[in-house]
Amino acid sequence: MEVKDRKDIDVKDTWNLESIYANNELWEEDYAALEKDAAEFAKLKGAIEADVSKIPAVLDAYYGLHRRLSKLSVYARMRFDQDTTDSTYQTMSAKIGSLGVKIGAASAFVEPEILSYSKEQLEAAEKENERTAYYGRKIEEMLRGQEHTLDAEKEELLAAAGDMAEAPDDIFSVLMNADMKYPDIVLEDGTHLPLTNSTYISYMESPDRAVREGAFKTLYGQIASLKNTFAAIYRGNLKQAKFYAQSRKYSSARAMYLADSNVPESVYDNLLSAVHEALPMMYRYVAVRKKVLGVDKLHMYDVYTPIVAAQNQTYEFEQAKQMVLEALKPMGEDYLSHAREGLENRWIDIYPNKGKKGGAYSWGCYDSQPFILLNYTKNLDSVFTLIHEMGHSIHSYYSITAQDYAYSDYKIFVAEVASTCNECLLMHDLLKKTTDKEQRKYLLNHYLDSFKGTLFRQTMFAEFEKTAHDYCAQGKPLTAEALSQMYLELNQKYFGPDMEKDEEIAYEWMRIPHFYTPFYVYQYATGYSAAVALSAKILKEGKPAVDAYMSFLKGGESKDPIDLLKMAGVDMTTEKPVADALALFGELVAELEALV
């Protein structure tokens, strides 16, 4: 697939970032104004401490700064992501990171000053002032983390260190997306195929095993040549997490990151335990894949290609749009109207281009439409990625529409639920309409691969991440060899005896961007489990389930994420959602075994 320069991409296939700022000059004006206002905000230090009634005025100003920062950040970061080689947006992206740190330092006094009052004093203030009561949930969250909040001077120091803390993620992103260059894939017949980070997966899905093997060995050979660099970058990320956890007196980095969403650590441990128990089902699926592909040895480069070669068809973007809208019909007309808006009115940056950030995401701010970054490659997985990211975007739309800015975001723990629920609806729609045995095998394989990639693989990532952070906390060596051996052993544990022990896969951890957002990935697996449950309820119960689900989508941060999911009908503090999802995986494996 040809990878174009950014300037050669059709405008209609790009996102409309001009709707945020018509030009860079307007961005610069807002940046300068916000920088000035952040300095002015710092002068409010001491106001709350002197008078509890100042809480709402200070918080109004605080959230006003962050709302403006979000708008600036979304524009700069997404401009950078569309072409990471563009020096203009490299500079703007770096500037916004620095401004975020300045605002963090300027506002570091807010929480310590609020927490200088007792719970009883704050409750009394809420009764006396309606606007203080509006911030009651925010104050409650602060009280929950009171023992981990430092005095104003120390909070300011930690905030000022934020620029340094972001360095590992920034370095990784530039190295992987801008500076990393790969040799061509060279096949036995002498054919040369260009390889980039964003096109790697499309090669791994190729029906030609030589192409898959070539891509796999070429990519990981190149990454391995920089293994010590990647290890140093990731080691820095582990150490900054350890530093903040220790500074805030958390028992571990994991405890600190889960506390933000008030998620018990038992949820994480229950996930690992449940998936470990289900690994024999994963081994059965690996054995089926080996049988259907007809290979003597199954390699890691064989796990992405469809096992029914005849169904390896392509989907033009217009076709993908119709598939998405058809699958989302159970959600009702209101939901569908927003999906149509996104598909037709440049919410989406569709195709890969040189220098574009790999992968996909949904983003936006309170004062913009949602936006979606894709690297669409016309395969079925790309269609699923489209409906996945549209789920994120519509979740954000409803949350922003229903909530004031201070409560309009939603926690990471629920971030993957709406997106994955959309994927489940698409798969159900495709399976429902399929009568052809080969097509059904193909779809079952795709569904099983979704479980493999999200519930099993992300749990494996979560286990690697927990072990790596534990090593860091214990002062154990975090060399490239130690991290790679750790990852290799986990890979062998999760894929089982029918998978060959390809040494190259030991380096996969080096290219996973989510590891730079500590303790994020487990939520893909828990979110997937919740989504399976919610999609089943929507399809079975219809409007009542949709109405409950819409309440969840509109909830923002008005409740803790676990309580929002309970409102929608799923209790993640129990093992049931994960166990039910794994039981469905077992049923799908059995059906595929019978068909092949």
Q: Report, as residue numbers or ranges, the catalytic residues.
A: 389
β partners of residue 362: 372
- Find out whether 309 and 293 touch, Cβ atoms under 8 Å: no
Q: What is the largest CA-CA distance in the chain?
A: 80
Report the sign of the C-alpha dihedral through residues 110, 112, 113, 114, in that order: positive
Q: What is the token pair recorded at 556?
A: 């923002």
In Å, what is the CA distance from 329 to each residue of 131, 251, 271, 347? 40, 46, 32, 20
- Find out whether 89 and 83 touch, Cβ atoms under 8 Å: yes
Closest by Cα among 243, 238, 378 to 320: 378
* Helix (H) or strand (E) run with residue 371 in it: strand 371-373
Report the sign of the C-alpha dihedral through residues 285, 288, 289, 290, in that order: positive
C-alpha Rg value of the chain to the nearest Å: 24
- Find out whether 220 and 507 touch, Cβ atoms under 8 Å: yes
* Sequence-ordered list of residues with C-beta below 8 angstroms from that of 191, at least 6 positions apart, any chain: none
- Find out whether 80 and 64 touch, Cβ atoms under 8 Å: no
> Which amino acid is it at 248?
R
> Which amino acid is it at 535?
S
Rounded CA separation 232/230 (Å): 5
